[in-house]
Amino acid sequence: MTLKLGTIGTNWITQMFVEAAHITGEYALSAVYSRHSDSGAAFADKFETEATVYTDLNEFFNSGIDVVYIASPNGLHFAQAAEALKAGVEVIVEKSAFDNTKQYEAIYTLMRENNVHVFEAARHIQQANFKAIAKKIGEMEHISGATFVYEKYSSRFDAYLAGENPNVLNREFSAGALADLGVYPLYAAIALFGMPKSSHYFATLLNNDTDGRGTAILRYADFDVTLIFGKGANSYLQSEILGYRDTIIIDNIAELEEVIYDDGQGSRTVISTPAPANPMVEEARLFAAIINEPVANEARYNELLLTSQRVNAVLTNLRKDAGVVFPSDPA
């Protein structure tokens, strides 16, 4: 069944997802929500579609769409996803999906009550090069630790330096380095190694008490995984997974363009394949398969859901550890 797709958000990542969805042949853009009709119409015009533009969320969710892709500011995800679930609409929500475990539990309840799915869009863990990393880990004799790095200068950091308080650098909108960029290396760690025994976050705060960069440490039984991320600088450090002598070297834990296995004895092998032009195709294809054939894909969905829940729990704990509070956090 071709899924009628609705979108919330008119930025670059929404455009990338719609293009990926169309590449799969499993979706057709049917509805676009925007607070402003002009921006919604401009977004819809980028595609050969007769999608209807809505400025009212209730009308949007009751327009006959099968699935919604939510790429609004983080702080809006929960309310929009909840409204979608109540309308019986399948939900794909950008990471970080929800602010804390309390929100996740409420969404989980709504999902079960309305017999629909919730997917967190973590595109990198569905890519072929990520699966190559997982396969190689399974072949290694021992894991000694890992370091994952994702630090990029935000397009809005100049505005922050000029005295403004942009949404993407404002904890009042559930934003910050951990929620926006740290979630990439965190997702990779949990997808590869499971739930850590403990987690700790050393955050560097901006003058608005939002975390601008930081280092998180995930403690496992036999090793640690260090996550380094930030929005106020550019880092070109590679990410690594350490064995004894051998090492997996990753150019970028979010983009995954090149992955190398070094055996520690003078031999290096490229285990990656050329990165896809659109990195969201595989996740879009997987989500459609689960929606259209839920029984056959139940195990795959449960694995996705468990990983998402674990990521949410660790994100919640990391912020608590660093004293970074969102408005939606329990008192």
Reduce the secondary structure of the chain to three states and give it as a string: CCEEEEEECCCHHHHHHHHHHHHHCCEEEEEEECCCHHHHHHHHCCCCCCCEEECCHHHHHCCCCCEEEECCCHHHHHHHHHHHHHCCCEEEEECCCCCCHHHHHHHHHHHHHHCCCEEEECHHHHCHHHHHHHHHHHHCCCCCEEEEEEECCCCCHHHHHCCCCCHHHCHHHCCCHHHHHHHHHHHHHHHHHCCCCEEEEEEEECCCCCEEEEEEEEECCCCEEEEEEECCCCCCCCEEEECCCCEEEECCCCCCCCEEEECCCCCEEECCCCCCCCCCHHHHHHHHHHHHCCCCCHHHHHHHHHHHHHHHHHHHHHHHHHCCCCCCCCC
Judge whether residue 269 has pLDDT over 90: yes
Report the pLDDT value the prediction gives residue 196, as an integer from 0 to 100: 98
Query: What does the pLDDT look like over 169-201, one tens digit per residue?
Result: 999 999 999 999 999 999 999 999 999 999 999
pLDDT band at 225 (very low <50, low <70, confident <90, very high): very high
Percent over 70 (pLDDT), the chain: 100
What domains are there in the chain, each with its CATH number?
3-121 (3.40.50.720), 125-279 (3.30.360.10)
Query: What does the pLDDT look like over 16-75, one tens digit per residue?
Result: 999 999 999 999 999 999 999 999 999 999 998 889 999 999 999 999 999 999 999 999
pTM assigned to the model: 0.97
Judge whether residue 216 has pLDDT over 90: yes
